[in-house]
A and B are shown apart, each in its own frame.
Chain A
Amino acid sequence: MYRFLVRKLYAAVNRFQRTTLSEEQTGSTPLYRDLKANLYRIENTLGKSGDVVFREFSIGLETPMRAALVFIEGLANRSTINDNILNPLQNYFRTVPLQDSASPCRQLRDSVLCNSEVRETETLEKLLEELFMGNTALLFEAHSMALIINTQGFASRAIEEPDTEAVVRGPREGFTENLRTNTSLLRRKIRNPKLRFEHLSIGTITGTKVCLAYIQGIASPELVVEVRKRLTRIRIDSVLESGYIEGFIEDAPFSVFATVGNTEKPDILAGKLLEGRLGIIVDGTPMVLTVPHLFVETLQTSEDYYTRPFLSTMNRWIRIAAMIATTGLPAFYVSLNTFHPEMIPSVLLVTMAAAKEGVPLPVMVETLFMAALFEAMREAGVRLPRPVGQSVSIVGALVLGEAAIRAGFVSAPTVILTGITAITSFILPAMADAFPLIRVFLVLLAGIFGLYGVLLGVLIILIHLVGLRSFGVPYLSPLAPLVPSGLNDVLLKTPVWAQIIRPQALTKLNPVRVRPDIPHPDPEEGESGA
């Protein structure tokens, strides 16, 4: 059935194929020799756009050659153009004659221009592409070769701490929207020649630059090949965010669980690369994709690795408990309330029955309604401007809950339960899109079959999780299949000096991280001076 629908979809798409996707920027139209013609063509191709600047000038005093600069205002740095291009061009040739006017490019590039990066091009498409990157094109009269000079200088956001991944201990730097800045942040963490960046351009209209990062010698070669294959296979008109790419390369598009991870912080990305994963950095967004992504990663934060192991272990357990609570608690409550009151302690039962008197809705509907209300409030809290948003979510929760109870709309246990569910769901933001669905699924099952239904629902989810793979790696490694060497980072967080082996599920290369024969220093030995 699914295949049938997909075939129909493809057929419909194919009818539009000719007009949209075929606008690939792979053409190679040569430049004219005539300067004016070139400029005219450039201006027309860009639609007489107001932000394109043409600066014509002459080079040389004795036999002046007409030349022109083309750049896009806002993308190119004017002072670089002034100081490093125009200044030398105008001044140098006062004293030195223009040699070899048959190809001025070489002389200019070798001796005159003071930019750190100067390239040549002969095609219009490349020239335009470079213009869009913020570089300047230098065209000459009677030459079909243009120089591309690096003058990038667009405004971009400074490096700041990301809101979504705030930490108490650890670096505060986060990725920005600029690909080059991001790669530089990563380079600073891993100062090793084995760190490889492979650049691609995805998106036929947007031409977004995408960079595949990995550490050669740690990342499994088959994995690199597979990821590269999936990336180059993408045929889409625009890539505005890494989410677009995620949708194309992920293993299970219909699962609620993400098989591709993301992060905004370079230290987290570096950590993941060192475990054998690959990073996909997309220009225009600070969210970097990490591949493969396993279930246990949602339980791990960077602080676990920087703080002491006991606290980290306790935090892990809190997260696991939170995960179980936020998905299972509403269903458990509904099933016990309506199907198995014998499992509730007597005193609590009487209180719950008292609270439920006069409330119109069945418990299952009540719970779902409150869950929906909570999601709505959360979304509203995100959209509102910051000062107002905070007060709305807190005030909203308290006042609405209290008012709803007083109005006899919902019962008090349901409100407190929804509150607990909400709080525990904030502990694991990575799974924020999976939780509501699982919750509703389990509540529905609880409403039909009681605890039996909840258990069956949990089994269904387990079966699904166990069968899921992320780029060939089983999703629930190292729990299932059981890989004992990897268990030191799941339920417990063993100290740094005990994390001897890299996760075997991800890569078999270069397994040893820490030299096991030089352990943590003996307390007695560490006495000062002794």
Chain B
Amino acid sequence: MRARLSVLLVLLSLTLGCWNRLELERRAIILGIGVDKVGEEIQLTAQIVKPAAVKGPGETGGEGKPFWVTTGTGRTLLAAVKDMATGSGRELLFSHMRVIVVGEDLARAGIGPVLDFFDRAAEGRRRTWLLVSKGEAKEILETNMELQKVSVEALTDLLKARTDHSEAPGIDIQQFQRFRSTPGRAPVAGWVYTAPSKEKGGPNRLHLRNSAIFRADKLIDYLDLTETRGLLWLTGQFKGGVTEIPCPDEDSKIFALENTRSESKLKVVKGDNGLPKLIATVFTEGNLSEAPECGDLTDPGFIKSLEQHQAEIIRTEIEATLSKARDLHADFLGFGEMIYRRFPMQWSRLEPDWEQTFPKLEVQIEVNAKIRRIGQTNEPAPVQSEIRTFRFTHAVPLAGPTYSQPAYPGQVIVPR
């Protein structure tokens, strides 16, 4: 009796069918989405992989683009998703989504609902990059670059490589949500826009540059390159990137420094005017990449002056960011968070009016910049060889390369 019953149960569950099971070819794998506001509705653009067109490692490739961009619209995000799904006939798979691009319009109206949708979904992954696009996100997704067939892949590569250029912050959903739940903090996201290609007739290029500043979940403004760099300095996210240091004597000659590392520490101490004072310490180091004819690179003193110069430049950048933050009344640098951690009592007093109080904070910036290496060579220009006088007979200038004609076009001859 018992055996019969259990066998029946098992068979029943087998025959009832499998509810969640779906063959892979019935799924549409979404790589990235763009969300825009069109009128009163939300427009969802998705980039879906076309597996048949993907060149497998050992197989002959498929024709055409390996991805497909489709859109859907609706009053809510879910409605837009369903609208889009009807277009493809396959079940949409969001769990491999790598980037969410939010159009400027929607960002200004508030991206809270969008984030909530993905956070709540069973497939929500918090490591999805979040970007704000100038203009329509749809445009961004439809652009494809030369090296990567799929624009989402291009974006992901750009994001991964951002540490080489340090032109924009890389924020994923996890960090953004954390910003929103941190006391006083204004969330930040990366900014992306298209620009015409440098090659004639080539496709548009995607640029990942600048940052978008939010208040709660609404976009208020964006930071330009200098201000973004300042932001990255202050949050310790500036990894690789170029700092150009003009020669102390002649402004036209510029040293190019490639930063390798940076760290930043924010400390909160009691200030003078009753408000806390913040001390920001930034440390960075880098290698010299390009040196014009200026000064003596073998002299540590000169290097030190270069370092100080570099520190000045960095400080300027940071000051620019701070002034922008004060103008916007947006604390995107995490000062409030620091105060909350250190002086919670004071924070609870400051919090209600934080946006007004924040610009009044005194910030002391200390920059410590180091130049570690200068590369393979010392001086930029070839060293003039001395004409050595020997003991015997007359010193005859050696017939050899004359130094009055340039050896290669563009060489500047500096008479000794």
Contacts and interface: CB of A to CB of B under 8 A. Distances in A.
Given A342-B95, A448-B13, A357 B52 contact: yes
Q: Chain A interface secondary structure, helix, strand, loop or mixed?
A: helix
A448 B18 contact: yes
A338 B23 CA distance: 5
A355 interface: yes
Interface stretch (A124-132, A186-194, A345-353): A345-353
Contact of A342 (B20, B21, B96): B96
A447 interface: yes
Contacts of A474: none
A346 B52 contact: no
Nearest to B57: A351
B22 A350 contact: no
Interface string A347-380: 0011111111111001110000000000000000
A353 B21 contact: no
Interface stretch (B24-32, B139-147, B211-219): B24-32
Contacts of B21: 338-339, 364, 447-448, 450
Given A1-B3, A448-B14, A354 B52 contact: yes
Interface string A243-272: 000000000000000000000000000000
Contact of B95 (A341, A354, A358, A359): A341
A342 B123 contact: yes
Interface residues of A, number: 27
Interface in B60-97: 93, 95-96
Contacts of B56: 351, 354-355
Contact of A353 (B1, B14, B29, B125): B29
Given A1-B1, A341-B95, A342-B96, A353 B27 contact: yes
A27 B49 CA distance: 83
Interface in A1-30: 1-2
Nearest to A2: B3
Nearest to A335: B21
Given A353-B51, A448-B14, A339 B1 contact: no
A312 interface: no
Interface in B1-50: 1-4, 13-14, 18, 20-25, 27, 29, 31, 49
B54 interface: yes
A356 B90 CA distance: 15
B98 interface: yes
A354 B14 CA distance: 29
A444 B22 CA distance: 15
A337 interface: yes
A354 B54 contact: yes
Contacts of B27: 341, 353
A152 to B, nearest CB: 51
B13 A341 contact: no
Contact of A357 (B3, B13, B51, B98): B51
Interface in A446-462: 447-450
Contacts of B125: 342
Contacts of B22: 338-339
Contacts of B96: 341-342, 346, 349
A362 B23 contact: yes
Contacts of A2: 3
Given A342-B96, A346-B98, A350-B49, A356 B23 contact: yes
A353 B50 CA distance: 9
Interface centre among A2, A337, A353, A363 (most CB of B within 10 A): A353
A358 B93 CA distance: 20
Contacts of B4: 1
Interface string A317-353: 0000000000000000000011101100010011111
A350 B54 contact: yes
Nearest to A366: B23
B51 A450 contact: no
A357 B52 CA distance: 7
A338 B49 contact: no
A356 B54 CA distance: 12
B389 to A, nearest CB: 69
Contacts, number: 76
Contacts of B23: 337-338, 356, 362-363
Interface string B101-133: 000000000000000000000010100000000
Contacts of B1: 1
A25 to B, nearest CB: 40
Contacts of A449: 18
B25 to A, nearest CB: 5
Contacts of B25: 353, 356-357, 359
Interface string A434-447: 00000000001001
Contacts of B14: 444, 448
B6 to A, nearest CB: 10
A450 B20 contact: yes
B26 to A, nearest CB: 9
A362 B25 CA distance: 10
A362 B29 CA distance: 18
Nearest to A336: B24
Contacts of A357: 25, 51-52
A362 B18 CA distance: 12
A1 B3 CA distance: 7
A349 B97 CA distance: 12
A358 to B, nearest CB: 8
Nearest to A444: B14
Nearest to A452: B20
A186 to B, nearest CB: 43
Contact of B24 (A346, A356, A364, A447): A356
A349 B54 CA distance: 11
A353 B27 CA distance: 9
Contacts of B13: 448
A362 B26 CA distance: 11
Nearest to B66: A350
A364 B98 CA distance: 29
Contacts of A355: 56
A337 B26 CA distance: 11
B18 A342 contact: no
Given A356-B25, A357-B25, A342 B52 contact: no
Contacts of A1: 1-4
Contact of A349 (B3, B29, B57): B29
A354 B59 CA distance: 11
Contacts of B31: 346
Nearest to A352: B24
Nearest to A357: B52
Nearest to A448: B18
Contacts of A351: 51, 54, 56-57
23 contacts: A1-B1, A1-B3, A1-B4, A337-B24, A338-B21, A338-B24, A341-B27, A341-B29, A342-B125, A346-B31, A349-B96, A351-B56, A352-B24, A353-B24, A353-B25, A353-B29, A356-B24, A359-B25, A362-B23, A363-B24, A447-B18, A448-B21, A449-B18
A-B complex: 3 closest residue pairs judged by Cβ atoms: A342-B95, A354-B51, A353-B51
Interface of A: 1-2, 337-339, 341-342, 346, 349-359, 362-364, 444, 447-450
Given A342-B125, A359-B25, A450-B21, 15 more contacts: A1-B2, A1-B4, A2-B3, A338-B21, A341-B24, A341-B27, A351-B54, A353-B24, A353-B27, A353-B49, A354-B54, A354-B56, A356-B24, A356-B25, A357-B52
